[in-house]
Amino acid sequence: MRGQQSFRYVLLSLHIPALALGLGQGIITPVLPGFAESFGVGAGLAAMVFAVQLAGGLVAAVPVGYASDRFGRRGFLVAGPVIMAVSLFLTAFATGGSFGVLLAYRFVAGVGQQMWMVSRISAIADSGGGSRGRQITSMFGMQRVGNLAGPLIGGFTATVWGASVAFAMHGAVSLIAAASILAVIRETAPDLPAKTSASRGNAPFSWRLLLKQPLPTLFALQYLSMITRGGAIGGGTVFVFAVYAYGTSEATLGVMSSIAALLGLPLILLAGQIMDRYGRKVSIIPGLLVFSLSMGFMALIAAFDWPFAAYVAAFMWMQIVGAGLSGSMQTLGSDLAPAHARGTFFGVSTMVQQAGFTSNPLSFSLLTAVSGFTAAFAFLLGTGIAAASVLGFMIKETLQKPEDDG
């Protein structure tokens, strides 16, 4: 970032797109369970509307990362939201009453979302310097605000005008994100301005690098963390539980999410400051442990059929604490990413995290079908504690130059 352009550049290329994409995702999150139910499917299969989008991101992560190193970040930053918009407009108006077609469009949306995510994190690592923690957490924080504030809009929109309008609104804000990025984004990938094979080939990426510690341990941490948190980010399978266990309406879920977004905002802003000043582990480990306990509380709620008020308390607990974890895994990755191949590294890292996200609704679907909601939430409690243990005992502090903050 340079001088006077820095604030405008960060605002238009990072914060506004992240907020817009998060808002769009938030708009349809409370709508998806009821929309899936309208196709006559059960709770286990309904969770697949979240899983297939995550699967699309899983498939796209490494190819997008490698291509962004070769051809640059800019094109993928713009194309990602545009692809999302197209898939969402098709979802709104062209499912043809087929649940399979709906899943296909959700998969394509996941590909577009991943194009944005991998290329944007790579761009931050290219130029973020000592403020990487703040930039990454602020990006995920803005996206999270949209994720949790959007359901208020989506819930009432679906109630009054129907689910199709909510999907169309998500498509519209995705186009706003693309326009904002296109207005200011410049290429950040190293050596690309020269556009020569020689300039791009002076420090080739070696896949063997991924087998050197602490990278395998980092990937294990990211996977476990994302399994635990995947269903809470934007609602996800936590909303599925509310719909099927309590018959909760889209509007109610929207109000709850918006309140949680406001309450969690201070933690979003604080987490990046703490990570850049005092280190990554001091912020992440307590957050993972406290977040995991909320999943244990959910398991108790399901086991003993506690009232909806208990669910509301658990939901607020996990969303507020989860705000402090926004962007934490990506910040750890940015500390260890090889400078000459950040896109490829983040493609692999994001694929691992996406596998964790995807495993959340998949495990939730399987365990719910076999043993009920209690087993599904208890499993997430275990993965969260495991993630905190891996970071605490197996990974050294990755913040190497705290003096860069000054």
- For residue 201, tell me if it sits in a domain: no
- For residue 107, tell me if it sits in a domain: yes
Phi-psi region of 41 (alpha: psi -120 to 50; beta: other; left: phi over 0): beta
Q: Which of 117-121, 305-309, 323-327, 399-403 has the highest mean pLDDT?
A: 305-309
The three-class DSSP label of residue 396 is coil
CB 314 within 8 A of CB 105: no
> What value does the mean pLDDT take over residues 248-257?
82
> What is the domain range of residue 128?
5-188+210-405
- Report pLDDT for 79: 92
Q: Give me the number of domains the chain comprises.
A: 1
- For residue 19, tell me if it sits in a domain: yes
> What value does the mean pLDDT take over residues 261-282?
84
- Report pLDDT for 14: 80
pLDDT band at 45 (very low <50, low <70, confident <90, very high): confident
CB 331 within 8 A of CB 391: no
> What value does the mean pLDDT take over residues 47-66?
84
- For residue 197, tell me if it sits in a domain: no
- For residue 346, tell me if it sits in a domain: yes
- For residue 205, tell me if it sits in a domain: no
CB 247 within 8 A of CB 371: no
186-218: per-residue pLDDT in tens?
A: 776 666 544 444 344 445 556 777 778 888 999
Q: Which of 9-13, 241-245, 389-393 has the highest mean pLDDT?
A: 389-393
CATH number, position 393: 1.20.1250.20
> What value does the mean pLDDT take over residues 27-40?
81
DSSP 192: G
- For residue 355, tell me if it sits in a domain: yes
- Report pLDDT for 254: 76
Q: Which of 54-63, 74-83, 210-219 has the highest mean pLDDT?
A: 74-83
Is the model's pLDDT at 23 over the cut of 80?
yes
Distance between CA 144 and CA 264 in Å, rounded? 9
pLDDT top residue among 161 and 232: 161
Is the model's pLDDT at 317 over the cut of 90?
yes
- Report pLDDT for 192: 54
Q: ∠11-1-112 over CA atoms, to 5°?
A: 55
Structure tokens at 326: 């926004």
- For residue 199, tell me if it sits in a domain: no
In this prediction, what percent of the chain has a pLDDT beyond 70? 90
Distance between CA 192 and CA 73 in Å, rounded? 10
* pLDDT, averaged across the chain: 83
How many other C-beta atoms lie within 10 A of the C-beta of residue 104? 17
Is the model's pLDDT at 332 over the cut of 60?
yes
